[in-house]
Amino acid sequence: MNLPTSPDGASEADATDQGASRLALLALSVAAFAIGTTEFVIMGLLPEVAGDLHVSIPSAGLLVSGYALGVAAGAPLLAALTARMERRNALLLLLGLFILGNALCAVAPTYGVLMVARVVAAFCHGSFFGIGAVVASHIVPRGQAARAIALMFTGLTLANVLGVPFGTFLGQWAGWRSTFGAVTVLGVVAAIAVWRLVPALPGMPSPDMRRELGVLRQPQVLLALAMTVLGFGGVFTVFTYIAPILQQQSHVSVGATGWVLILFGVGTTIGNMLGGRLADWRLMPSLAGVLVVLALVMFAFAWTMHSTAAAIVTVFVWGVFAFATVPPLQMRVVQQASEGPHLASTLNIAAFNLGNAIGAFIGGSMIDLKLGLSSVSIAGAVVTLLGLLVTLASAALERRGASRGAVASAAGA
C-alpha cells in the first residue's frame, strides 16, 4: 500500500517524523536556554553580586570559574552514573539537579553558599549537553547531525539574546536573587518540555564505559578536547568581564548594558547556525578560519572598547564568531570518538567550561595585575590563537594519517 504523500512528494509519515524531530529539538533547545541563562547571566550581574556580597569584581568573577569547574568535574562523574539509563530519563535527572542548584542560588545568604550552589547547578551541564548532542544527532536524517546539534545549541545562544539581558534587567530591578528564582522556574518548564516532547530511545544502546574510556587514548580525541579548551577559552577571558568593560571603558550606562548583551546574543545565534552549516560542509578548514577571525576581533576590541559605537559593533561581530566555533568543536569530538561518542561528547562540554574557567582566571589576573581592561581582550585573543595552533596540528596529523593509509592501500594492491 502506498503512503499518502504531501504536494512535494514526501510521505505524511515522513512529515510526521520530521515534525516530531523538530519538537524534540525544540524541547532540547528550551533546556539549553535555561542552562545557558544560568551559566551566562552572572556576567551581567557581577557588579550587583559583588556589591551585595561585599566582594571584589575579580572575586565575583570566580563564580564563573566555580561554575565552569563544576561542569568539568560533574561531566565525567554523571556520565558514568547515567550510562545505563535510558537517555530521556537521564536528561530529566540532570534537569532535576539543575533546578535544585538554581533554587539554592536564589536563597544563598553568603558568597560561599552561592559558590556551592553554582557548582551544584553546574554538575548537570556537561552531561546534559553531551547526552543531548548524541540524542539530537540520532533523531534526524543522516547528514544533518551537525545542524541538529546546532539547533539544540540555539537554545544556548538564545540565552544570550534573551535570557542574559533580561535576567540582567530583572536582577538590576528586583535584585540578583530574583534572576536565579526565574531561572529555577525556567528549569521546571524545560523539564516538562523534555518529558513531553523528547522520545524515549530504548533502542539506543547504553554506552559501554570501557569502550568510551578507550577513545580517550586516541591522540585526535585529546587534540579535539584541547582545541575546545583553548579555542573557546579565549572568549570567556573577555566575556566574564564584559559588564565592567562596557561600563568603564565604553561608557555604556548600567541600564544600557543589557541591550548590548542582546546584540551580542543576536550575534551568537547567527554564529551558531553558521557554524553548524560550515561544520557539515568542511569542518576543519572552517574551524581554523573562524578561530583566526575570532582572535583578530578580540585583538581589535582592545582598542574599539574605548569608543561606544565601535565597541557595540565589535561586540556583535565577536558574538558571531565566538559561537560559530561551537558546533564544529562539538562535531569534531563526536566524529573522532565515533566508537565512544557519549563520554567524549560530554567531556567536550567539560572542555568548553574548563576553557571558561581558565579564561575567567586569566582575565581576572590581568585586572589584579593592574594591566587595564584592554589587556583582558588581548589575553583572550592569545588564548584563542593557541587553540588555532592545536587545530592546525590536529589537521596536519590527520593528513599524515590519510597519506600513510593511501600508501599502505596502494602497496596492498
Q: Which of 97-106, 192-201, 261-270, 397-406 has the lowest mean pLDDT?
A: 397-406
Closest CA to 226 of 182, 291, 315: 291
* pTM recorded for the entire structure: 0.71
DSSP state of 283: H
| Cβ neighbours, 10 Å, residue 402 | 10
pLDDT on residue 13: 41
Side chain identity at 291, as an amino acid letter?
A: L
What value does the mean pLDDT take over residues 167-190?
91
Q: Decide if pLDDT at 351 tops 90.
A: no
Residue numbers of the domain that contains 375:
20-200+208-399
CATH code (residue 183): 1.20.1250.20
Residue 2 pLDDT grade (very low, low, confident, very high; cuts 50, 70, 90): very low
pLDDT on residue 3: 33
Q: Decide if pLDDT at 334 tops 70.
A: yes
For residue 5, the SS3 value is strand
Q: Decide if pLDDT at 159 tops 60.
A: yes
Q: Decide if pLDDT at 126 tops 80.
A: no
What value does the mean pLDDT take over residues 218-226?
87
Segment 37-70, tens digit of pLDDT: 988 788 778 888 888 888 888 888 888 888 888 8
What value does the mean pLDDT take over residues 112-136?
85
pLDDT on residue 212: 66
The answer as to whether 382 is a domain residue is yes
Segment 296-329, tens digit of pLDDT: 999 999 999 999 999 999 999 999 999 898 888 8
Residue 403 pLDDT grade (very low, low, confident, very high; cuts 50, 70, 90): low
User: When comparing pLDDT for 15 and 233, which is higher?
Assistant: 233
What value does the mean pLDDT take over residues 86-92?
86
DSSP state of 67: H
Instruction: Give strand pairing partners of 313.
Output: none
| Cβ neighbours, 10 Å, residue 251 | 13
The answer as to whether 393 is a domain residue is yes
The answer as to whether 363 is a domain residue is yes
Instruction: Provide the total of helices (H) and of strands (E) in the chain, helices listed first.
Output: 17, 0
Q: How far is CA 196 from CA 19, 158, 185, 345, in A?
A: 14, 22, 17, 24
Residue 8 pLDDT grade (very low, low, confident, very high; cuts 50, 70, 90): very low
- Centroid of chain to Cα 381: 18
Residue 209 pLDDT grade (very low, low, confident, very high; cuts 50, 70, 90): low
The answer as to whether 3 is a domain residue is no
Q: How far is CA 355 from CA 12, 116, 237, in A?
A: 45, 20, 9
Separation CA 190–CA 185 (nearest Å): 9
For residue 11, the SS3 value is strand
User: When comparing pLDDT for 134 and 238, which is higher?
Assistant: 238
Residue 12 pLDDT grade (very low, low, confident, very high; cuts 50, 70, 90): very low
The answer as to whether 220 is a domain residue is yes
What value does the mean pLDDT take over residues 104-116?
92
pLDDT on residue 194: 87
Q: What is the dihedral of CA 112, 190, 166, 59, to 10 degrees?
A: 20
Say how many domains are in the chain.
1
The answer as to whether 8 is a domain residue is no
Mean pLDDT of the chain: 82
The answer as to whether 361 is a domain residue is yes
pLDDT on residue 250: 92
Segment 236-249, tens digit of pLDDT: 899 888 888 999 99
C-alpha grid cell for residue 131? 547526552
What value does the mean pLDDT take over residues 226-243?
89
pLDDT on residue 398: 82
Q: Decide if pLDDT at 154 tops 60.
A: yes
Separation CA 32–CA 93 (nearest Å): 15
The answer as to whether 379 is a domain residue is yes
Separation CA 188–CA 413 (nearest Å): 60
pLDDT on residue 7: 38
Q: Which of 131-140, 250-259, 291-300, 347-356 has the lowest mean pLDDT?
A: 131-140
